[in-house]
Amino acid sequence: MLRLLEVRNLALMDNLSFCPGEGLNVISGETGAGKSMLIGAIELLLGERATADSIRAGREEAFVQAVFTPPPGLFADDDPGLDEEGQLVLAREIRRHGPNICRINGRVQPLARLREAGRRLIDLHGQNSQQSLLSEKTQRELLDAYGGADLAPLLDKVAGFWREQVRLRKIAAGLGGDEGEAARRADFLSFQLREIEDARLTPAEEAELITLQRRLANARQLAERVGRAYNDLYGGSRDDSVLDRLGLVEKELAAAAALDGDLAEMAAQVAAAMAQLSEAARQLLDYRESIDLDEGKLAEVGERLEQYRRLKKKYGPTVADVLTLAESLRGELAAMAGREKEREKAESELLKITAALKQAADDLSQARRRAAARLSEQITAALQDLALRGATVTVSVEDSGAVGLHGQDQVSFLFSANPGEPELSLERAASGGEMARLALAVKSVLAAQDNVPTLIFDEIDAGIGGVTVKAVADRLKSLARHRQVICVTHQALIAAAADWHFSIRKERSGERTVTRLTTLDKEKREWELARMLGAEEGDSTVLAHARSLLDQKPEAGSKNREEEPGLQQKNR
């Protein structure tokens, strides 16, 4: 619950403290006394927009701080860190120059973090926030909150399937792209790869073909030159070839070596040379006989080398480069085939998830309709207690035609003020006073599901009177049994029902006007209720009526007053 609210230099509030107690707290005062400014200070802690215009004239900054004792488990999923006494302190500084500063337990935090913490601690419902009931989003959230444990697993299931559907759609889209362009790209790559693979190029074959082409192109000249070389070595006339003449030299040296042993080595060298030349002559003969003078073979080799040249020009510049490109083409085609398989897999999973999402959304719709029927009955019953006899509320759940994060339902609250009248949307059917009571009815019905510890109603009694005010007072009192309730009111009946009554007023302080907030004891409450009932100074009759209003309920606010924080509030 809210233990302390401190406001400094905000509008007319120079230094104001507010210490509400448990149960129903009421704030009353003349029009323009500053009730709206006090609510505005609380809204700043809830993340509302702040402007330098709200800073008190002559000051450079305004300061708002609130001390809470949160119930156990309220921040279980996102603990902001309580102090040693289990308290949470939210603070905000608004500066004329420079950035605003938000703090949680003394540590600077972003505004979004302050807003998140504040809205878990306080639910503020006023003249402006009543309009949130007109939002279909708010109406859906109210129904889902009422559904509680029955709807929560289904909501989580739908949200999970929806997020998975979004993920798979992104994957399929990323893997898909322009299918026609992808197919054309695959065809082009396949053509290039087939052309290279069909050619069966190798660096070794290219070198061999180059050598063979040179030989075939010069076959006739080679044959003539090799033939003459052979003839000079071996094939000439007797005693004219190199081998014949070398044979004579060998014989002469062999004879001389028989006479002088020193010539034996030279004789052996000549014999070896003769053997080598004889082998060379034989090889020359074989080579000459192997020379192919086939022009067709030369043309065939030329065509094959032209294929090498053409493919190297397209994909080269070397055979090794062409083969490297072929390997790259295989990899890209494999990747494209893999992407296609992944896309098909993603699309297959997407179909399954979409079907599962639709089934989960259908289950959620059925559960919502059951909860809507119960909620309709309870809000309608609450409206009867708030003196809206014959008024009905129907929580309608219709198929929107599309499944999203929150399901497929269009939730709307339909209202009829009188029997026999058609049920219309709240915006078309409910007046301002009816909206105020409807808001209170909804809050009271949802009190069991709502774990926000402090509820604030800002002039929710506007536009109503008589018996209706008493019904509103009773409903607020009932709601305050489970929550701390703070209500800004102009109605004496509501103020009389309070456990704690605070009066807000403007007064002169030197040359300036300031707003003061005072905790009222029983006597002061009597006078304040008399004022709210329209009494003029000295009107004993109205004062007696005010006393009777207070006497109708236990004086909760008068017990142990010294122990209550309301008495510690100071106006300096």
Domains by residue range for the chain, with CATH: 2-126+451-520+553-568 (3.40.50.300), 182-334 (no CATH)
Q: pLDDT at residue 263 above 80?
A: yes
Q: Residue 541 — pLDDT band, cuts 50, 70, 90?
A: confident
Name which residue leads in pLDDT, 87 or 397. 397
Largest distance between two CA atoms of the chain:
175
Joined tokens for residue 181: 């362009």
Q: What's the mean pLDDT when you consider all of the chain? A: 83
Q: pLDDT at residue 23 above 90?
A: yes
Taking residues 141-153, what's their average pLDDT? 90
pLDDT tens for residues 388-447? 788 899 999 999 999 999 999 999 999 998 888 888 888 787 666 677 678 788 888 887
Taking residues 471-476, what's their average pLDDT? 87
Q: How many residues does the chain have?
A: 572
Q: Residue 499 — pLDDT band, cuts 50, 70, 90?
A: very high
CA distances (Å), origin 374, targets 194, 364, 437 = 71, 15, 19
| AA identity, residue 53 | D
81 Cβ neighbours under 8 A, 6+ residues apart = 104, 105, 107
* Residue 50 confidence (pLDDT): 82
Cβ-in-10-Å burial (0-12, 13-18, 19+) of 125 comes to buried
333 Cβ neighbours under 8 A, 6+ residues apart = 186, 189, 190, 193
Q: pLDDT at residue 129 above 90?
A: no
* Residue 562 confidence (pLDDT): 36
- With both helix axes pointing from N to C terminus, report the angle between 203-217 and 295-315 in degrees, rounded to the nearest 10: 140
Taking residues 147-164, what's their average pLDDT? 93
Q: pLDDT at residue 192 above 80?
A: yes
Taking residues 547-551, what's their average pLDDT? 86
Q: pLDDT at residue 371 above 90?
A: yes
Cβ-in-10-Å burial (0-12, 13-18, 19+) of 439 comes to buried
pLDDT tens for residues 304-361? 888 899 999 988 889 999 999 989 888 878 877 767 677 777 788 889 999 999 999 9
Contact 445, 379 (CB under 8 A): yes
Q: pLDDT at residue 158 above 90?
A: yes
Taking residues 288-309, what's their average pLDDT? 79
pTM, rounded to two decimals: 0.60
SS3 of 512-546? EEEEEEEECCHHHHHHHHHHHCCCCCCCHHHHHHH
Q: What is the DSSP track for 97-147? A: SS--EEEETTEEE-HHHHHHHHHHHEEEE-TTGGGGGG-HHHHHHHHHHHH
Contact 107, 82 (CB under 8 A): no
Q: Residue 558 — pLDDT band, cuts 50, 70, 90?
A: very low
Taking residues 43-50, what's their average pLDDT? 87
Please list, residue by residue across 271-283, b when 16 or more beta carbons sit within 10 angstroms of its beta carbon and e when fewer do: eeebeebeeebee
Give phi and psi for 506, each to the nearest 5: -100, 145
